A and B are shown apart, each in its own frame.
Chain A
Amino acid sequence: MTTADLILQQLINGVSLGAMYALLALGFTLVYGILELINFSHFNIFMVGSFVALMTLDAFGLKGQTVVLTGLPLAGVLLVAFLVTMVATGVLGVGIERFLLRRVRHVKGPAAMITTIGVSYILLNVVLLTTGADAKNFPNPLPAVHYDIGGAVLRLREILIWIIAFVLMGGLSYFVNRTRLGKAMRATAQDPDAARMMGIEVDRVIMTAFFVGSALAGAGGLIFGLYYNFTSASVGFVAGLRAFTAAVLGGIGNVPGAMVGGLIIGLIEASGGQLIATAWTDVVIFSILVLVLVFRPSGLFGRMAPNKS
């Protein structure tokens, strides 16, 4: 492989990872935009998502890398797997909001944030105790189709991840910018009290933000499994922290910022693995987190924090 091929290859890998981090970062940003709350349970909603996806694919009789699907069956299975996973994690997120976070929403101080940390550990331990700590083989039903671009390889897997991420993020942008509920969500993020006076049911908007954010995290969990061919109870932590960094980098609360931030973190991870050493990737990523927080706390694209009065 020439250097140019290497760069191209890392670009391909980086965009795929970036798509996954972006999906995960969006959940942090949607919830933060409205509640100014960092939802640490989001880490493990993502992890639970990868397990729900694993079980769904299992239910179709897909085990490991032995069964390969093509054409319509493949599209159908993936569609069902994404839908089931996203609805499951969406409902999980809504449940956490409705039954736990709503009760502490008006408590001053860090009660809500600490609650999210507690929930995160509960999810982690429930999965640990029920499935064990070992890594699980994640089904890969995709045929080994790939295209050679010079010395770089573009696999069907990457193309698929890009398409799915593009559709999901396009859908989210449409939802936030064009629909009635999406506009209500932006209004609530900018001025919750005024939004309430427009007749917007703010509780419903908050639940929607949790549903959408958690569903995207679930999709991210499925993509994680497809990309790495494994999952385990501990995957939420590292991916979650990187995605959180992406959200902060883009400007937490800012939807397009989360997408771009995710892409940048993905590219850093891919090139870091190649150019420096995989072990140093997190040093680079979290140095970015610290540098952004210290020197540009509103992120690259500015914060969209509520106007709390």
Chain B
Amino acid sequence: MADLLLEFKDVNTFYGDMHALKNVNYTIERGEIVCLLGGNACGKSTTMKTIMGVVRPASGSVTFDGQVISNLATSERVRRGIAPVLEARRLFPRMTVYENLELGAYTQPRGPQFEQDLERVYALFPRVKERRDQLAGTLSGGEQQMVAIGRALMARPRLICMDEPSMGLSPLFVEQVFDIIQEINRQGTTIFMVEQNANMALSIAHRAYVLQTGEVVLSGTAAEMRENEMIKQAYLGEMQVEAA
């Protein structure tokens, strides 16, 4: 377990009276792509919020890079190397693409490193470079998702938490986005993602967890998941029909 990057240990999180996460355990190792599957209101978003520190667990611990982070402020978590790609992208609509990227680097020192990171994002997304002076709110959904991923990269993260990266995108863009996620992972960033599109997610993930009403009911490698009858029925059903 030397390569452990993020760990949830018996985490319980409540929203008022609702028990959103029940004794949840995750382990994410350096260099992995791990995806989190589950239906609506199963605790996927709560998981992301717990990692970012938007909600605090009532019990249990969240460990990042060997240190307990459950009580740290969000800003400190970002500083330590966790960056989010938020659900529905959530760019700052009346700021330029460039300014959005700058804000992604908010916790980083300004200097040659910033320019380097910017070049890296522009290399991954030439489209983002073309649009850099445009207001983010005027971009198409796919372009916005590119900026959202670029913005996360500007924080020099060791872990990127993605909440529904394919949501609202055309199938063509979905494929592009997943290619990019794989490329970012190959360059050394660990990815933890929540995704409705289980078929797509399992095609690039190394491992997966399945959440049901706040509990982890299944976990394993992506290959095992694709063969699992329950997964096939619950999440890959449409794909099976299409393939048949």
Interface of A toward B, CB cutoff 8 Å:
180, 183-184, 186-187, 190-191, 193-201, 304, 307
Contacts and interface: CB of A to CB of B under 8 A. Distances in A.
B93 interface: yes
A178 to B, nearest CB: 10
Interface stretch (B10-18, B78-86, B205-213): B78-86
Given A180-B106, A184-B103, A199 B95 contact: no
The 8 closest A-B pairs by CB, nearest first: A199-B78, A199-B107, A194-B90, A199-B75, A190-B92, A198-B106, A187-B92, A197-B84
Contact of A307 (B75, B93, B103, B151): B93
Given A196-B74, A197-B78, A199-B74, A183 B90 contact: no
A304 B75 contact: no
Contact of A199 (B54, B90, B110, B155): B155
A96 to B, nearest CB: 23
Contact of A191 (B74, B78, B90, B106): B90
User: What is the size category of the interface that chain B forms with chain A?
Assistant: 20 to 34
B86 A194 contact: yes
**Most B Cβ at <10 Å: residue of A186, A190, A198, A304:** A198
A304 B95 CA distance: 12
B106 A199 contact: yes
A199 B79 contact: yes
27 contacts: A180-B102, A180-B106, A183-B102, A183-B103, A184-B106, A186-B92, A186-B94, A187-B95, A190-B95, A191-B92, A194-B92, A195-B103, A196-B54, A196-B74, A197-B54, A197-B78, A197-B86, A197-B90, A198-B103, A198-B107, A198-B151, A198-B155, A199-B79, A199-B155, A200-B103, A201-B73, A307-B93
Interface string B82-122: 00101000111111000100111011001000000000000
Contacts of B106: 180, 184, 198-200
B77 to A, nearest CB: 8
A190 B79 CA distance: 22
Contacts of A304: 94
A191 B95 CA distance: 11
Contacts of A195: 92, 103
B52 interface: yes
A11 B59 CA distance: 66
B99 A198 contact: no
Nearest to B90: A194
B220 to A, nearest CB: 30
Interface string B154-175: 0100000000000000000000
A187 B91 CA distance: 9
Interface in B53-74: 54, 73-74
A157 to B, nearest CB: 38
Contact of B75 (A186, A187, A201): A201
Contacts of B90: 191, 193-194, 197
A197 B99 CA distance: 15
Contacts of A187: 92, 95, 103
A184 B106 CA distance: 8
A180 B103 CA distance: 8
B115 to A, nearest CB: 16
A201 B103 CA distance: 12
Nearest to B48: A197
Contacts of B94: 186, 190, 304
A178 B155 CA distance: 20
Nearest to A194: B90
Nearest to A190: B92
B89 to A, nearest CB: 9
Contacts of B103: 183-184, 187, 195, 198, 200
Given A190-B92, A200-B106, 16 more contacts: A180-B102, A180-B106, A183-B95, A183-B99, A187-B92, A190-B93, A193-B54, A194-B86, A196-B74, A197-B52, A197-B84, A198-B107, A199-B75, A199-B79, A304-B94, A307-B93
A247 B103 CA distance: 27
B79 to A, nearest CB: 6
A190 B103 CA distance: 13
Nearest to B89: A194
Contacts of A200: 75, 103, 106
A186 B95 contact: yes
A191 B87 CA distance: 13
A307 to B, nearest CB: 7
A34 to B, nearest CB: 13
A199 to B, nearest CB: 3
Contacts of B104: 198
A187 B93 CA distance: 9
A201 B74 CA distance: 8
B142 to A, nearest CB: 19
A183 B90 CA distance: 16
Contacts of B52: 197
Nearest to B79: A199
Nearest to B151: A198
Nearest to B77: A199
